[in-house]
Structure 1
Amino acid sequence: ERVKTPTDGLHYMREWFAREIGGGVTAADLLVTAGGQSAITTALRALAPPGTPVLVESPTYPGMLAVARAAGLRPVPVPADAEGVRPDLLEAAFRATGARVLVCQPLFQNPTGAVLGPERRREVLRIARAAGAFVVEDDFARRLVHEDAPPLPAPLAAEDPDGVVVHVCSLTKATSPSLRVGALAARGPVLERLRAIQVVDSFFVPRPLQEAALELVGSPAWHRHQRAVAQELRSRRGLLAGALADQLPAFALPHIPYGGHHLWLRLPDGVPEAALVAGALRAGVAVAPGRPYFCAEPPAGHIRLSFAGVAGPTEIAEGVRRLRTAVDELTP
């Protein structure tokens, strides 16, 4: 490794990711990727032929839907609630579609913030195993845990001895958009399929970038950074939730997550989503419309509010005030 960068990634980088995942996952089960989005792209291209269905949570991350469609796949929504994807509907969807892949975010799901409950974790793995399917686990938010969170469940990959789970994780969100270093973990012959796709698509992650990531996570400052991120995310979440309760009590906030960097709001009846998003932008506040998070007809209007990109508490309060202004313009 002093001479060249292996296409799988530097050995010590793969070792670090394997330890983070746990459950007997080893460096030999890992590929270093150029961030999480690249890893999801590789996984879907390797696991599902073009034209076939892929099961997704509803709602889910629009970037993943874009990746699936670009690969020629047909996303099929499986409704989720406050405890994640519903196993009864998942089993029915596998049976009805013949799909061989489920993509899910068991921890702090985007956009709902849901955490897959213990019983459901077992059920999802059982259902996928019975269907002869893979579960692509997008563990994107583990390093965005809030300070007040209870102990986190292990990744699904750590509880899967049968090679059902293909695990995706990344350092990017907890560090910098430019530190595009992530990992794919898989057991059994599927790893060779993942490797073959990655070599064609991106060859390998540049060695200097991996060395910079290793320098960061191997430093005492890494743990201080994680604590600081957890404290700041908790503080901002509380400020945003409090401001919404005060200024926009009619907006439904059914779940306040203890990880991630956003809140997911259901709009009151009579508040049109597209008009609100446009009005908010005119008022000087950017919100994400809910429509792109659904690959079928949404059950209601939603918006997603991120608290990661603001300068501090003052901007959070001002953003909610401006959103209230946009709402007032739409309602009598």
Structure 2
Amino acid sequence: MSNDSSARIIEGLRAWIAGAPPGARLPSTRALVAEYAASPVTVQKALRTLAAQGVLESRPGVGTFVRAVRVARPHDYGWQTAALGAPRHRSPGLNTALRTPPNDAIALHSGYPDRDLLPERLVRAAFARAARSEATVARPPSAGLPDLQAWFAAGLAAHTPVGVTPPAPGDVLVLPGSQSGLSGVFRSLVGAGRPALIESPTYWGATRAAAQAGVEAVPVPSGIRGPDPDELDRAFERTGARVLYAQPNFANPTGARWSTDLGDRVLEIVRRHGAFLVEDDWAHDFGIDARPTPLAARDDGGHVVYLRSLTKSVSPSVRVAGLVARGPARERVLADAQSEAMYVSGVLQAVALDVVTQPAWRTHLRGLRQQLAARRDLLVEALREHAPTTYLEAVPQGGLNLWLRLPDATDLPRVVRECEEAGVVVAPGGEWFPAEPTGPYLRLNYAGPRPGAFPEGARVLGRALARG
């Protein structure tokens, strides 16, 4: 029988239950089969659905009965206040980028690409193959599957200039996503109570990872062209920090891409201070008008700890990242990862490796660049037309976001609230600053769903700003 038959039975039984007292016994399966002219399988499916919803309860050998309504008793968890004490680091609430909006909303807030931009066919096929492989029952090595380690190393080696030793597969650690990698790096390379330099604004997950590790995040101002190297040098000198977290390619949220000269100057500063640069290459697969060139490819002295995630480009369900580190730093991060998670699911590693080694992966990335360009340009033009008081310092050459400056007098919470009331979800820029925001900003994602609604989203934003 069809699902329509099951739905018809459920609707009929709900009407019967509504008029029956708690504990009433339902007619037998045979009687229901006759009443609804349905098969026993369809009737049982309907009964199971209602039982799962808490409407019915089955008593084997006795029958099926209307479940009595239980009055919820409030629980008192007050004792936990004394047991837990005050938190050392109070985390802020859920970041706007992780919110799940209503289906009909115009979602300009997300940090992830739309499903239409993912290699869904490749991912589904990879999961099917992984399910038939040894990965379902075998424990993978703590540092990752050797073939996946080799793939991450080769990706970085492809950018390594002559005269620089490329990374080896053994320099790679496979981690359960870049967020886990950042947490491990801050714990193992910085440590609680010590300073780390962080671009401002920057990826909100990095500031949270630092806070959770007890690290003192020292903001270094950075803009569409990256940080001021002189200011960076002074920050190292002033704080004694030995770690800098940065995104040289298509930074989240600003979209900044460092020039070659700036990258060389930052590397020189890091080396002179005997420090590490944690390079988050989150947007490696999202180049549009330019291809990312990792700074780690120009360093073989172990100063750059390189992090590349596949979660956004392959699938949110494939939380796999590669971290490249050399020398004792790698061993410290590995020891931390073993303590936290022991190893990454072999199935997820097998799926990630399968996807990125298929010839169709390259084809997908070429198409992805074209789609991202079209979406980015559509949103930029819509903002210019419908929200002309906003300011975009530069159109990013890659990544997923626009970093939009609003007029100085803007009441940002009001604008965000009015946009959401009109069905447009936007991300307030203050969430990307490790210290106080330097002005009212929005981070808008042009890789989200329903790009055809971008002009309407810009109109809503423009009206909200005009009312201010």
- Equivalent position to 2:151, from 3, 13, 16: 16
1:321 matched to 2:459? The reply is yes
Q: Please tell me whether residue 195 in structure 1 is matched to residue 334 in structure 2.
A: yes
Aligned residue identity for 1:9: G
Q: Give the TM-score of the pair, scaled to structure 1.
A: 0.95
Q: 1:85 aligned to 2:227?
A: yes
Shift of 1:108: 0.3
Post-superposition Cα deviations, 1:142-162, rounded to whole Å, max 9, x if no partner, equal 10112xx13x35211110011
- How far apart, in 1, do the equivalents of 2:187 and 2:421 lie? 40
**What is the letter of the counterpart of residue 328 of structure 1?**
A
Task: Report the Cα offset of residue 174 of structure 1.
Answer: 0.9
Of 343, 359, 370, which aligns to 1:204?
Answer: 343
C-alpha distance in structure 2 between counterparts of 1:134 and 1:58, whole Å: 18
Q: 1:127 aligns with which of 269, 291, 306?
A: 269
- Asked if residue 164 in structure 1 is aligned to residue 303 in structure 2, the reply is yes
Q: Deviations over 1:100-125 (max 9, x none)?
A: 11000000011110111111111111
Check if 1:41 corresponds to 2:183: yes
Matched-pair contact (CA < 8 Å) for 1:283–1:323: no
2:197 to 55, 76, 80: 55
* TM-aligned CA deviation for residue 236 of structure 1: 0.3
Give 1:84-123 correspondences, 5 Å limit.
Answer: 84-123=226-265
CA distance in 2, matches of 1:42, 1:62: 16
- Counterpart of 2:438 in structure 1 is 299
Most deviating of 303-312 and 227-236: 303-312
Count of residue pairs the alignment pairs up? 326
Structure of greater Rg: 2
Quote the Cα distance in structure 2 between the aligned partners of 1:234 and 1:36. 25
Once residues 89 and 144 of structure 1 are traced to their aligned partners in structure 2, the CA distance between those partners, rounded to angstroms, is 29
**What secondary structure is seen at the aligned counterpart in 1 of 2:420?**
helix
| 1:261-281 Cα shifts (integer Å, max 9, x gaps) | 110011112212121111111
* 1:176 alignment partner in structure 2: 315
Separation (CA, whole Å) in 2 of partners of 1:68 and 1:141:
21
Distance in 2 of aligned mates of 1:126 and 1:173: 31
Whether contact under 8 Å (2:387, 2:459) holds in the other structure is no
Give the CA deviation at 1:328: 2.7
Which position in structure 2 is the counterpart of 1:5? 140
Q: Which residue of 2 aligns with 1:186?
A: 325
- Contact 1:112/1:255 (CA < 8 Å) preserved in 2? no
Indicate if the aligned counterparts of 1:283 and 1:325 stay in contact, CA closer than 8 A.
no
Q: Report if the CA contact (8 A) 1:310-1:316 is conserved.
A: no
Please identify, of 125-134 and 105-114, the stretch whose mean Cα deviation from structure 2 is larger: 125-134
1:66-117 per-residue CA deviation (whole Å, 9 max, x = no partner) reads: 1100100111111112221111000000011111110000000111101111
Structural RMSD (CA): 1.3
* 1:32 counterpart SS class: strand
CA distance in 2, matches of 1:81, 1:328: 27
| Equivalent AA in structure 2 for residue 220 of structure 1 | P
The corresponding residue for 1:136 is 278
Q: SS of the residue aligned with 1:144?
A: coil
Is the CA contact 2:284–2:292 (under 8 Å) kept in the aligned structure 1?
A: no
In the alignment, the residues of structure 1 paired with residue 434 and residue 400 of structure 2 have an alpha-carbon distance, to the nearest angstrom, of 22
Identity within the alignment, %: 43
Q: Which deviates more, 294-303 or 49-58?
A: 294-303
Partner Cα separation in structure 2 for residue 139 and residue 182 of structure 1 = 10
- Alpha-carbon deviations, 1:268-326, whole Å to 9, x = none? 122121211111111111111111211222221111111122223x2211211221222
Assess if the C-alpha contact under 8 Å between 1:104 and 1:137 holds in 2. yes
The SS at the match of 2:211 is helix
User: 5+ residue gaps in structure 1?
Assistant: none
Amino acid at match of 2:278: V
**Gaps (5+ residues) in structure 2?**
1-133, 161-165
Structure 1 counterpart of 2:286, which letter? L
Q: Is the 8 A contact 1:290 1:302 kept in 2?
A: yes
